[in-house]
Amino acid sequence: MSEKKGFTPEKTTLLFINNDSEPLFSKKNRALLTDPMDDNNPITVQVLGICSALAITVQLKPAIVMSLSVMAVMGASNVIISLLRNLIPNRIRIIVQLVVVAAMVILVDQILRAYAYDVSKELSIFIGLIITNCIVMGRLEAFALGNGVWKSFLDGIGNAAGYGFILIVVAFFRELLGSGKLFGFQVIPDFIYDMGYVNNGLMLLSPMALITVGIYIWIQRSRNRKLIEKN
């Protein structure tokens, strides 16, 4: 087994929780969950996972299913990699990570096909493409390889939640303004259409997803000044 740089040797057991006396939801652990929602959001701050944010945010339902799938994949693969972190040879760690993520993605895909066939068909290739989502690999590399199981689990769930949150916000506006619906039900009443309102066709095209994310980043940074890079 090769020693990796930056690793803090800790009492590693294959136990789920380390024996140190940190409570399950200590302040640090809670930060793992809440940080990715705002200060360290994978999409708006780290700018990862943009492609899927463009592709599946035309409607709200696929966006939610996608967020849940990513959450399942990230939680599970973070846990597995964290369990294996001291067994994986450094040189082939990317391959090991890929195998684990791919296995998780296939599981999620099969479950969706079995229980939510319509959504699965709608999402088509994008479920399979979770494996290429930079957020998943990024968190494995940056966190799960160097942290305990419980923390890695929280980190995976937190980052997936931050990703999903942006997806849902973008999908909400795109479906509402682009087709006047939410979850496939018409929410803009007929009399507004009679008054001459027309759905915005640009909202259905993917450039608008990018612009919506951009507007979100703009608002986020003007509210949270510490995110603005100094140069």
Partner 1 sequence: MGFLRKKLDEIKRPFRKGEKFEKFAPAVNAFDTFLFVPNHTTKTGSHIRDAVDLKRTMVTVIIALLPALIYGIYNTGYQHFTQLGSDFSFLDAFIHGAWKIVPMIVVSYVVGLSIEFAFAVYRGHEVNEGYLVTGLLIPMIMPVDIPLWMVAVSVAFAVLIAKEAFGGTGMNILNPALTARAFAFFAYPTYMSGNKVWVSEASSMDGVSGETILGTLAANGNINYSMFEMFQGSIPGSIAETSTLWIIVGAIILITTGIGSWRIMLGSVLGAAFMGFLFNLWGANALMSFSWMNHLVVGGFAFGVVFMATDPVSAAQTAKGKWIYGVLVGIFCIMIRVFNPAYPEGVMLAILLMNVFAPTIDHYVIQGNINKRKKRWASTLKTA
- Binding residues vs partner 1 (CB under 8 A): 196-198, 200-203, 205, 211, 214-215, 218
Q: Give the residue with the Cβ less far from partner 1, 4 or 221.
A: 221
Minimum CB distance to partner 1, residue 53 (Å): 18
Cα→Cα distances 160→69, 78, 164, 190, 197, Å? 9, 11, 6, 37, 36
For residue 62, how many other CB atoms are within 10 A of its CB? 23
Q: Give the residue with the Cβ less far from partner 1, 9 or 196.
A: 196
Instruction: Give dist(CA 140, CA 102) in Å, integer.
Output: 13
Which distant-in-sequence residues (6+ apart) come within 8 Å of 185 by Cβ?
none
Minimum CB distance to partner 1, residue 217 (Å): 10
Q: Give the residue with the Cβ less far from partner 1, 155 or 175.
A: 175
Minimum CB distance to partner 1, residue 185 (Å): 22
| 33 burial type by CB count under 10 A (0-12 exposed, 13-18 middle, 19+ buried) | middle
Which two structure tokens, joined as six digits, stand for 118?
């319509």
Instruction: Give dist(CA 33, CA 134) in Å, integer.
Output: 19
Minimum CB distance to partner 1, residue 94 (Å): 35
Q: Give the residue with the Cβ less far from partner 1, 51 or 205.
A: 205
Identify residue 106 by its one-letter amino acid code.
I
Minimum CB distance to partner 1, residue 208 (Å): 9
Q: Give the residue with the Cβ less far from partner 1, 117 or 197.
A: 197
